[in-house]
Structure 1
Amino acid sequence: MKRTVIMALLTAAILMLGSGVAGAETLKIGTMGPLTGPYAADGNDIKNGAQTAVDVFLEQGGIPGFDTIKLLPQDTACDPRQAVAAANKLINEEADAVVGSYCSSATLPASQVLDEENIIMITPASTNEMVTTRGLPYMFRMCGRDDDQSTIALDFMQKKLGSKSIYIVDDKTAYSQGLADNVEELSKKRGLKVLGHEHVNQGDKDFSAILTKVKSMNPDVFYMSMQNSATGALMLIQAKRMGIKAEVVAQDAVYHPQLIDIAKNAAEGVYLTFGFIDDSAPAYKEFLAKYEPKFGSPGAYSGYAYDSAMAYLKAVKAAGTTDPAKVKEEMMKLDYDGATKHIKFKPNGDSGSNYIIRKVKDGKFVNYWNPATGELY
């Protein structure tokens, strides 16, 4: 009899150990982004930013009712089909939410798949307007939108640079071409002469044919809408060698430390639209103190990914559950200063745009022009 009781107790103990804390479960957050290929720097920044948020929450004691918080990174390679496969894998792994993706062309189809399973998705980097205009109830965005970004770019070109003509180049992705099309449309409406709008292919390394056209047309502004900073850096190097004199204006996907690392002197003087981040703010300093020792200097979207994961975790803690409807309700109540911006979501899931103009000066990105005031920083 004693032997039977002992065996029963041992079996129960083993079952409890195998399941962790009795009654508790693991909170799972998926990340989606390009972890390999030409956009890998940004994808890994997103993964690392989300991981930092998880680390912060775990250091603070986690969330009641959950034994731990686990990150499930998935590689999309910025490919729509791979993004759908990644979304399905996260569904199979029972992810409670997803931070991602990077390329809008990956976020758009993946979000449709996740929405069918009522899984909350927060993108830290996809700026195409359609991300939040399709009425998906669990789609959120931490970064800004292309329609806002293109407006700021045009304001800068005309009000500050006094530009009269523009030549536009994009790489045919949903993000870069969508933004470039916005810039072209606005230019025509505002009387900025569009001298050309060309497209390159992802993976191209020789841009001499298009750059020859740019040089011959001699625009006031060469608008460069690329999906990643490495491609942008190559184009800048070749434009400088060719002697193109136009002011170069680029966008938030080109904004990354590796732009300067690769292009070096050729990046000097380039203007970029990017969300304003106050690196002197307490919340940013707290983020940096946790991120830098483990991952080094943050990339362009590290902070946005951190804020995306933090917003979700705060909402889960407030809701006391991962039930998507209840978590969404708490997310809509959020109103606080994050690392990158003040976080308060609109009914459609956007968190607002706060674009400014930054410039590469002396090998560093510096705040240059404030569109709200029209003044230089």
Structure 2
Amino acid sequence: MRRLLVPFLVALMASGAATALAQESVKVGVITSLTGRFAEFGEQHQAGIQAALEDVNAAGGVNGVPLEVVYEDDTSEVNAALTAAETLVNQNLPLVMGAYSSSITNPLAQYFTRQQRPFLVFTSGDDAITRPGSDWVFRLNQPSYAYADVLFGVFDALNEQHGDGYLRTIVTIHGNGAFEVSVADAVDEIAAQRGYTVLQRQDYDQSGADFRPILNRFKSLNPDVVFMVSYAADSVALMRQIAEVGLDAKVFAGGAAGFALPNFIEGSGPAADYVYTATMWTKDVPYPGAQELDDRLQAILGRTPSYHAAQAYAAIITAADVLSRAASFSPADVREALLATDMPDTVYGPISFSDYAGYRNQASLPAVAEQVVNGEFVTVYVNGEVVNEMLDTPAWTER
């Protein structure tokens, strides 16, 4: 039995539910992007799920029955995701989980609500998924507000470090997908609350635009912070073009997504240095077994994992806990078990679902901030505290 799952597995094996005992395996559905533009994130999901299944089944599965995942590929498209959801519902699986992109997960959440089937979201961040939410949709990962909020925590800490007024003005560039817009909305909201000024906000189409006209306009505004919300390829293009046009700022901040991936550093090269990014989990979080899980995920992937793999891991151990406690595998009983979830010691943090701040069935977990230093992600801000030195960003001419 792996040490990192001991608290969870003790509770799991003590459960009295007997629904699983007559089955050869207990199957749950996972909708993710195995192909298409988000396939990199689907690969991270598969790594986390593999590690979690190893742990859960080594400890007895769901009341002595192995847990099995049925994958459906959404091909990074909404219509394929809805077809996948219908396929899994027709198989009468007790729980379905997914997906990566908020633009895909929002329609999925609406579909499962109409079907009155429990749906567990473990990566998509758009606030609208659980605010206002529905009785049938649960989310264990942080909503998009948290992606902006943790970076404003960094901004506040830098103002404390350098003196009030060091950071005051912000420009925002973001894609026009549901997640990116939701984070940018949070930037506007938090900036107004905390006395920052958003000088300009610019969205762009998902087609891989030339950002230089926007960046040159931003350059004329002389902002303190450049806040970016983009997926993988766009995050790399943004930083390379920011360096090209010589847009200087005291802080470059990425709202997770593409900026939190190892490929961001590889693709951006030296331009990635000093960039801050929100992330939802790192090996340095103060949860039991984080370093061990990071090592295992790295071995599975053959490279540094992103937080998306840890989220998928958390989804599987949550599913095993829920199905072990459910009175039956009927949708209503699984929903009741989800509502009663109380897992205080997971590697992803304490998992339970509650209603707060307009969210419904939402786990309440803080985000984390990293800074790229010499081509490596360094965790700098966790649970409201600076945990490593935050380096000043030099002008491009001084690098």
Which whole-Å deviations, capped at 9, do the CAs of 1:352-377 have from their partners, x for residues lacking one?
13123211111111111346246756
Distance 1:372 1:64, change over 3 A: closer
1:225 counterpart letter in structure 2: V
Distance 1:340 1:110, change over 3 A: same
The one of 316, 319, 327 aligned to 1:312: 319
- Secondary structure, counterpart of 1:337 in structure 2: strand
The one of 176, 181, 184 aligned to 1:177: 181
Q: How does 1:218-367 map to 2 (within 5 A)?
A: 218-226=222-230, 228-246=231-249, 247-253=251-257, 254-279=259-284, 281-288=287-294, 290-296=296-302, 297-319=304-326, 321-331=328-338, 332-347=340-355, 348-367=360-379
Aligned residues: 355
Q: Any conservation in 1 of the 2:61–2:320 contact (CA below 8 Å)?
A: no
Distance 1:138 1:251, change over 3 A: same
Of 250-259 and 205-214, deviating more is 205-214
Hey, what does 1:41 align to over in structure 2? 40
| Shift of residue 64, structure 1, vs aligned partner | 3.6
Hey, what does 2:138 align to over in structure 1? 140
Which whole-Å deviations, capped at 9, do the CAs of 1:107-139 have from their partners, x for residues lacking one?
111012123333322222112222112342232
Which whole-Å deviations, capped at 9, do the CAs of 1:218-238 have from their partners, x for residues lacking one?
211111011x23320111111
* Unaligned 5+ runs, structure 1: 1-20
1:168 counterpart letter in structure 2: T
Hey, what does 1:62 align to over in structure 2? 61
1:47 counterpart letter in structure 2: Q
Q: Which has the higher contact order (CA 8 A, sep 6+)?
A: 2
- 1-structure distance, mates of 2:22, 2:328: 13
Of 259-268 and 118-127, deviating more is 118-127
Which whole-Å deviations, capped at 9, do the CAs of 1:325-345 have from their partners, x for residues lacking one?
333333323223212212222
Distance 1:111 1:51, change over 3 A: farther
- 2-structure distance, mates of 1:130, 1:54: 30
Distance 1:164 1:282, change over 3 A: closer
1:245 counterpart letter in structure 2: D
Q: Any conservation in 2 of the 1:64–1:320 contact (CA below 8 Å)?
A: no
Of 89-98 and 174-183, deviating more is 89-98
- Secondary structure, counterpart of 2:29 in structure 1: strand
Max Rg structure: 1
Q: Any conservation in 2 of the 1:171–1:225 contact (CA below 8 Å)?
A: yes
- 2-structure distance, mates of 1:93, 1:213: 53
- 2-structure distance, mates of 1:28, 1:120: 14
1:265 counterpart letter in structure 2: P
The two structures have a TM-score, normalised by structure 2, of: 0.81
- Secondary structure, counterpart of 2:201 in structure 1: strand
| Shift of residue 311, structure 1, vs aligned partner | 0.6
Which whole-Å deviations, capped at 9, do the CAs of 1:296-324 have from their partners, x for residues lacking one?
33222100111011111112123364233
The two structures have a TM-score, normalised by structure 1, of: 0.85
- 2-structure distance, mates of 1:353, 1:82: 30
- 2-structure distance, mates of 1:193, 1:301: 32
Hey, what does 1:209 align to over in structure 2? 213
Q: Any conservation in 2 of the 1:98–1:121 contact (CA below 8 Å)?
A: yes
Of 113-122 and 353-362, deviating more is 113-122
- Secondary structure, counterpart of 1:322 in structure 2: coil
Distance 1:200 1:22, change over 3 A: closer
- Secondary structure, counterpart of 1:298 in structure 2: coil
Q: Any conservation in 1 of the 2:287–2:348 contact (CA below 8 Å)?
A: no
* Residue 114 (structure 1) aligned with residue 112 (structure 2): yes
Identical aligned pairs, as a percentage?
24
Q: Any conservation in 2 of the 1:23–1:65 contact (CA below 8 Å)?
A: no
- 1-structure distance, mates of 2:173, 2:186: 12
Hey, what does 2:15 align to over in structure 1? none
| Shift of residue 73, structure 1, vs aligned partner | 1.9
Distance 1:295 1:118, change over 3 A: farther
Hey, what does 1:369 align to over in structure 2? 381
Q: Any conservation in 2 of the 1:31–1:46 contact (CA below 8 Å)?
A: no
Distance 1:143 1:135, change over 3 A: closer
RMSD: 2.5
| Shift of residue 157, structure 1, vs aligned partner | 2.5
Distance 1:289 1:57, change over 3 A: farther
Q: Any conservation in 2 of the 1:283–1:337 contact (CA below 8 Å)?
A: no
| Shift of residue 82, structure 1, vs aligned partner | 2.9
Distance 1:155 1:23, change over 3 A: closer
Hey, what does 2:169 align to over in structure 1? 165
Which whole-Å deviations, capped at 9, do the CAs of 1:166-225 have from their partners, x for residues lacking one?
111111011101111221233244442222111111131522221221222221111101
